[in-house]
Each structure stands twice: as structure tokens, then as C-alpha cells.
Amino acid sequence: MSYLKFLGTAGARFVMISQLRASGGIWMSLLGEEILLDPGPGSLVRALSSKPKMEPKHLTGILLSHRHLDHSGDLNVMIEAMTDGGFNRRGVVFSPKDAFLGEDPVVLQYLRNYPLKFEMLNPGETYRLGKVEFSVHPLDHGVETYGFNFYHPHTREIFLSIVPDTLFFPGLPELFPGKVLVLNMVLPEEKPHLIKHLKLPDLPEFLKTKREAVLLTHFGMGMLRLKPWELAKELSREHHAEIIAANDGLTFDLEPFLS
């Protein structure tokens, strides 16, 4: 069974540090692989307390979109958990170069031989983990940041796109054409003093491409005040599309999009 499990839906620093929403990232069970995207603070606890429990030692891959703390806070502990404390070398970690080699890397030196491999992400390149194939595109977020497109194993159509933190720019929606679209929707409106993030007025641009489901996550304080679960219902009616505001623990079935 292929699905997304939201171990957390917190966006930006204040929701993260208050834990109004958890910040554990997204667990992806996909085509026989167990992959964790952006393990922020609390990812290990959220995985182990999930129902059913998401077992870190079953992970075969970890994806990091960028090195900011709300995305990478539990990266090292999840590498440790994936590899049984380094006693079982396994898994692949896909990471931007500056998260691994930059002046402020987030991967601890002593863990670097624990996984089978570290793959450095490069713009436009395609990567494979078992039957899972995905490509990455650079985003505009102040540090090296990537979004992800996942390919159907038979048709090679992009069935799933994930757009993490970024400022909106022309052509962004066309880079991520997945039938299922996950958007980090941090802000209800433009706030120039905050680091570059998507905001609600950007959403209609993504809906110009045909989508079967749009999942909003990574909510900042302003979004939480708007009650995103109610907002998603209004947006669905307005745009005649299935728009879902993820909550902590939400499981979204991907099987209908892989049949």
C-alpha cells in the first residue's frame, strides 16, 4: 500500500517551537519503500507514537528539502534510528549540498558512514530508490532548497508533486504538475519581513494545472488562526477542486493514483 502519513503540519518557527502543530515531516510509504521527508523536531517521537507505529528501522530513504531547523531538527536522530545506531548500514539520504558540505551543515560527521549512501541533490536530476523515481527542481527560499516530482512506475507520468518552502515565482506551478500536490502553505498573505514562503493568494495559480487532490500543510500562526480545515472546505467549493488541510497524523492514500 502506498500512502502519505503527516507526522507533523507545523510551519515556520513559532508554530514549531510552541508545538501547536507537530513538526515531524511526512512519512511516505511508496512502491515498497519507506521514505521520510523533512524530519523536523519531534519526528522520531511522532513516528513511534503513530497509530499504527511507523518504525524508523524500516526506513529505506530520507529526503531533505533544505537545512532549516523545522525541516532537519531530527535528521541526525532519524539516520541513527534508520541504521540501528550504525550497527546496520542501510538506507539512502538525499540532501542539498549545503546541508552536507556547506559552512553550516546539519549532518553530523560521525553519522556519515551509517547510511549506505548520501546522494547530493542537483537541479533537474532524477533519482531512484528501488521502484521509486523522482526528480528535483530548485526553489527560492534563501538556502539551497528543492521540490520533488514522483513518477508513476509504468507510465512515468508525474503523479505526486511536493513543493516545500519557497517564494512564488513565474513558472513554479508548471514545474510541479502532479495529480496529487502537496504545498507548504505557511502564510495567509504576503509578509515581506518573513523569509520566502508560499501564501494563500498563490494557490489559484497551482490550480490552473489539473489536480485530483491538493494537500496544504506546514501552517504558520496566521494560517492556524484562519482554521485551515474550514478554509479548505471553502476553497474546495470556490475552485471546484479537492483541497485538503492536512492535520497531524493524517494518512492520505496514494493507491488510486498508482492503479
- Across 149-153, 193-197, 203-207, least confident range: 193-197
- In the predicted model, is pLDDT for residue 122 greater than 90? yes
pLDDT by residue (tens digit) across 60-118?
A: 999 999 999 999 999 999 999 999 999 999 999 999 999 999 789 999 999 999 999 99
* The predicted structure's pLDDT at residue 192: 66
Question: Strand, coil or helix: what is 26?
Answer: strand
Average pLDDT for residues 5-28, to the nearest whole number?
95
Average pLDDT for residues 205-224, to the nearest whole number?
96
Confidence class for position 193, pLDDT limits 50, 70, 90: low
* The predicted structure's pLDDT at residue 166: 97
Q: How do the domains of the chain map onto residue ranges? A: 3-251
pLDDT by residue (tens digit) across 127-166?
A: 999 999 999 999 999 999 999 999 999 999 999 999 999 9
State how far the alpha carbon of 141 is from the alpha carbons of 80, 167, 219, 232, in Å: 28, 6, 16, 25
Alpha-carbon gap, residue 3 to 150, rounded angstroms: 13
- In the predicted model, is pLDDT for residue 191 greater than 90? no
DSSP percent split of the chain into helix, strand, coil, nearest 5 = 25, 30, 45
* The predicted structure's pLDDT at residue 190: 75
Question: Strand, coil or helix: what is 222?
Answer: helix
* The predicted structure's pLDDT at residue 259: 86
Mean pLDDT score of the chain: 96
Do you know the residue count of the chain?
Answer: 259
CATH domain 3-251 topology: Metallo-beta-lactamase; Chain A (3.60.15)
Chain centroid to Cα 190, Å, comes to: 22
Can you spell out the DSSP letters for 29-87? EETTEEEEE---TTHHHHHHHSSS---GGG--EEE-S---HHHHTTHHHHHHHHTGGGT
State how far the alpha carbon of 12 is from the alpha carbons of 198, 213, 241, in Å: 12, 24, 27
pLDDT by residue (tens digit) across 17-60?
A: 999 999 999 999 999 999 999 999 999 999 999 999 999 999 99
The pTM score is 0.96
